[in-house]
Structure 1
Amino acid sequence: MTTFLLIRHGAHLLGGDTIAGRAPDVHLSNLGRDQAGDMAGRVGRLPVSALYSSPADRTRETAEFLSERLGLAVQILENLHEIDLGDWTGRKLEDLRRLETFGRWNSFRSGTRVPNGEAMVETQTRIVGEMLRLREKHPNDCIALVSHGDVIKAALAYFLGVPLDLFSRIEIGLASVSIVAIFDHGPWVLCVNNTGSELPMPY
């Protein structure tokens, strides 16, 4: 059994009204640093044996709080990266909501590609594929993956059997922790969007 702690980064300096995507130099805000510190205090009590992060600045910085708490190096994995949001990177949500393609992206995620960016099915394929690869590498471990909201939703949707077109019903808050344990007989989703003091574990 491999237990995955799927951790979203903390709040960043662009705020919630701008699409950060894969833009460089998007760092944690003071609020985000506080959120990451609180998360590290909760997760740091668990028997985590490896720590992985998306290459984005905000995820690496979030992971560093946990690294200091656990004494583990942060290992960067490209497959944990944010969705490639192509032409929408750096755009304001207020502007994007006027676009027909953006509306279709939010209602038909399984069949819509971001202009010059990634399709959601590609995002889901890479994150789930990475988790299954890591399961082979860590067959009896608890490992932490620091990533992004929609990437974590895509993974959870797969293991919960939720269609991508309905995955927005899954909430993944800033610095939240979701837990998936993968056994030989299949996955077990222990919690989603946990921001409390107690984290359920399968042992």
Structure 2
Amino acid sequence: MAYILLIRHGQNDWVNKRRLAGWTPGVHLNEEGRSQAEQLSERLSSLPLKAIYSSPLERCIETAAFLAHPHGLEVVELDDIGEVHYGDWQGKKIKKLAKKKRKWYAVQHFPSRFRFPGGESLTEVQKRAVTAIERLNLLHEKELVAVVSHADVIKLILAHYLGMHIDLFQRIVVSPASVSSLMLSESGPVRVLRINDDGPIRLPSKDKEEQDSEKKKNGNQDEPANQD
């Protein structure tokens, strides 16, 4: 079982200008984004983070660096949690793309059938991102790790673990520097603990099922009830 924090990078000028940055190099956090990342770092500073993974794009690496500093951790880059490859749409303004009415309608309402021209399908993105999360679960049993990624990627991960059809994933909101979290288990369902959160982060207490499981592993039995 692992606890995984899914963190969207902080604000940048491309978000403000409503442009699809995609894998465009050189997209850095702006002043607001750096402030968001610093505040997020303070929120997470008391948590026992064991590892921090990041999309290889600058805006994520910079956000992750703020988080890593209080814990003395190195940021590990993972391509599989990188941004969607938007193909021909990369760099374009959302307002202009929305004028492509049929394609825009498709990506908003039927993303399972949509492939970005010259880029990835959202189904492919979800598959690679969820596979990465499953690998991290195996690597970090009973540990807390942070994953710094992008809005659409995090939304697709959440949709998978919520059991939502990919066509509904646009209903999820993931804001800059927000935290969503998962508790993964070998024996039970994955639990989505929070979505798009900007408040204090606390680890959940162990539930009864997990406590009973640990008792059995350790050979401990409950005390018998008092008899009259």
CA distance in 2, matches of 1:64, 1:109: 32
Q: Which of 188, 195, 198 is residue 195 of structure 1 equivalent to?
A: 198
Query: Which position in structure 1 is the counterpart of 2:87?
Result: 86
Tell me what 2:22 maps to.
Answer: 21
Residue in 1 that maps onto 2:11: 11
Q: Distance in 1 between matches of 2:44 and 2:121?
A: 31
- CA separation in 2, counterparts of 1:186 and 1:2? 12
Q: CA deviation at 1:131?
A: 0.7
> Counterpart of 1:4 in structure 2: which amino acid?
I
Which of 116, 121, 143 is the aligned partner of 1:114? 116
Structure 1 runs, 4 residues or longer, greater than 3 Å off: none
The count of corresponding residues between Structure 1 and Structure 2 is: 202
Structure 1 CA distance for aligned equivalents of residues 172 and 128 of structure 2 = 19
| 2:156 corresponds to | 154
Q: Distance in 2 between matches of 1:106 and 1:84?
A: 16
Q: Deviations for 1:23-73, whole angstroms, at most 9, x for unmatched residues?
A: 000000100000111111112221110000000110000001011122100
The equivalences for 1:101-140 within 5 A come to: 101-140=103-142
Gaps of 5+ in 2: 206-228
1:162 and 1:200, CA in 2 relative to 1: closer, same or farther beyond 3 A?
A: farther
Q: Partner letter of residue 182 of structure 2? A: V
TM-score norm. by structure 1 comes to 0.97
- Cα displacement (A) at 1:192: 0.5
Deviations 1:95-129 (A, max 9, x none): 10011212211111111000001111111101110
User: What RMSD over aligned residues (CA atoms) do the two structures have, in Å?
Assistant: 0.9
Query: Which structure has the larger Rg over C-alpha atoms?
Result: 2
What is the SS of the residue equivalent to 1:10?
coil
Q: Aligned residues: percent identity?
A: 40
- Name 2:98's counterpart in structure 1: 97
Task: Name the CA distance, whole Å, in 2 between partners of 1:148 and 1:34.
Answer: 18
Residue 144 of structure 2, aligned match among 123, 142, 145: 142
- Where structure 1 has 5 or more consecutive residues not aligned to the other structure, the ranges are none
| Equivalent AA in structure 2 for residue 157 of structure 1 | A
The alignment partner of 2:168 has SS state of helix
Q: Distance in 2 between matches of 1:111 and 1:202?
A: 37
Report the 3-state secondary structure (helix = DSSP H, G, I; strand = E; otherwise coil) of the residue aligned with 2:15: coil
Amino acid at match of 1:167: F
Q: Structure 1: how far apart are the matches of 2:48 and 2:171?
A: 30
* Displacement after TM superposition at 1:202 (Å): 2.3
Give the match's secondary structure for 2:96.
helix
Q: Aligned partners of 2:95, 2:194: CA distance in 1, in Å?
A: 32
Supply the AA of the counterpart residue of 1:68: H
Q: Deviations 1:79-103 (Å, cap 9, x if unpaired)?
A: 0100001101110111100112122
> What is the CA–CA distance in structure 2 between the aligned matches of 1:105 and 1:167, rounded to whole Å?
10
Q: For 1:60 and 1:86, how far apart are their aligned partners in 2? A: 22
Deviations, residues 141-197 of structure 1 (Å, cap 9, x unaligned) = 11000000110000000000111111111111110000100012120111101111x
